[in-house]
Amino acid sequence: MVRARAERFAVPARWLVHIDPDRRTLSEGRARDLSGYVPGVEFLRRLVGTIDGGAIKLGPASDFSVHFGAMDCEIEVISLGGECKEATAWFGALATCRRRATRLPEGLSWTDQDGPPSPSVPIAEPARFVYDPDPSLGRSGLLASFASAHGLARCGPGIDFLTGPIRLSSPFLDVFEVEEVHPLDIKTLRRVVSLRGLGTLEIKTKGLDLSVDSLRKELRPRGLHPVTLLLMGGDGPGRAVIARRAK
């Protein structure tokens, strides 16, 4: 065993390495930018071109595309239970594609080789089914590839809710069956919630900067019928979709 600063240790060119940089060197907590990692980004980038291969563990919210996106690397984003947990830059002999989204605990992956090379995703009004994709697809830059390969449309410009007329089954998709579509207006929604006797509300948002807890208090759901509210903002007109999780 050798104990030394990684930057000062001579790494043989034939090695395969795993690096888990320290992200807790700043007083405010974990570093999100790679500039706050130890060892630093310059050292990490230099390794990519000088040894046979390796894996660099990165934060899922870090700026990994800025520093490794144009390099000969495979960027993998891993989610667990619908939450991004980790990103890894694989390089050299350990890289098998350019982008990979992996969902755990199922252990399933979607890569840039699984969909069309130049995906085009149309914009459409919410159809019979709306899908909330796993965040690993969006964070890895593979959402358009996945949507195009499965014939899905976006619910609005810049909105990561997907939609289609036919139910699809995939661990990468939470499936909701649409009941009603309304303008994104709090007074209208409060009236609908009251008239329909809606109770426990699961609220999911895309393209909106609002507090889900505050919104739930405003809507005052006191009924007996649980539903999901899918709220969409973005560049287009805001919409509120009342839906139920497909069984």
* Boundary (domain end) residue, out of 77, 96, 115: 96
> In terms of pLDDT, which residue wins out, 4 or 102?
102
Regarding whether 241 and 133 lie in a shared domain, the answer is yes
Model confidence at 85: pLDDT above 60: yes
Regarding whether 87 and 145 lie in a shared domain, the answer is no
Regarding whether 134 and 92 lie in a shared domain, the answer is no
Model confidence at 80: pLDDT above 60: yes
30-37, long-range: CB < 8 A, 24+ apart: 30/59, 31/59, 31/62, 32/59, 32/61, 32/62, 32/63, 33/62, 33/63, 34/58, 34/62, 34/63, 34/64, 34/66, 34/67
Regarding whether 230 and 159 lie in a shared domain, the answer is yes
Q: Is residue 107 part of a domain?
A: no
Q: Please tell me the least confidently modeled range out of 15-24, 187-196, 238-247.
A: 15-24
Regarding whether 192 and 85 lie in a shared domain, the answer is no
Regarding whether 88 and 145 lie in a shared domain, the answer is no
> What's residue 31's pLDDT?
66
Regarding whether 165 and 66 lie in a shared domain, the answer is no
Regarding whether 143 and 75 lie in a shared domain, the answer is no
> What's residue 90's pLDDT?
97
* Boundary (domain end) residue, out of 96, 115, 147: 96
Regarding whether 152 and 82 lie in a shared domain, the answer is no
> In terms of pLDDT, which residue wins out, 101 or 216?
101
> What's residue 75's pLDDT?
97
Q: Is residue 110 part of a domain?
A: no
Q: Is residue 117 part of a domain?
A: no
Model confidence at 28: pLDDT above 80: no
Average pLDDT over residues 72-95: 96
Taking each helix axis from N to C end, the angle separating 186-195 and 212-219, rounded to the nearest 10 degrees, works out to 60
Average pLDDT over residues 222-245: 90
For the chain, percent of residues with pLDDT exceeding 70: 96
Question: What is the per-residue pLDDT across 176-224, written as a single tens digit (0 to 9) for each?
Answer: 999 999 999 999 999 999 999 998 889 999 989 888 899 999 998 888 8
Q: Is residue 185 part of a domain?
A: yes
| Start-to-end C-alpha separation, the chain | 53
Question: What is the per-residue pLDDT across 39-51, written as a single tens digit (0 to 9) for each?
Answer: 888 989 988 989 9
Domain range for 76: 6-96
pLDDT band at 25 (very low <50, low <70, confident <90, very high): low
How far is Cα 134 from Cα 108, in angstroms, rounded to an integer? 11
Q: Is residue 85 part of a domain?
A: yes
pLDDT band at 10 (very low <50, low <70, confident <90, very high): confident
Q: Is residue 108 part of a domain?
A: no
> What's residue 114's pLDDT?
97
Q: Is residue 62 part of a domain?
A: yes
Q: Is residue 120 part of a domain?
A: no
Regarding whether 178 and 88 lie in a shared domain, the answer is no
Split into its structural domains, the chain has a count of: 2
- DSSP secondary structure string for all residues of 134-181: -HHHHHTT-HHHHHHHTT-EESSTT---EEESS----TTEEEEEEEEE
Model confidence at 70: pLDDT above 80: yes
Closest by alpha carbon to 178, among 223, 125, 135, 224? 125
Average pLDDT over residues 221-233: 92
Half-sphere exposure of 75 (CA within 13 A, CB side): 23
Regarding whether 230 and 173 lie in a shared domain, the answer is yes
Average confidence score pLDDT of the chain? 91
How far is Cα 136 from Cα 128, in angstroms, rounded to an integer? 24
Question: What is the per-residue pLDDT across 126-153, written as a single tens digit (0 to 9) for each?
Answer: 999 999 999 999 999 999 999 999 999 9
Regarding whether 134 and 82 lie in a shared domain, the answer is no
pLDDT band at 167 (very low <50, low <70, confident <90, very high): very high
Average pLDDT over residues 81-95: 95
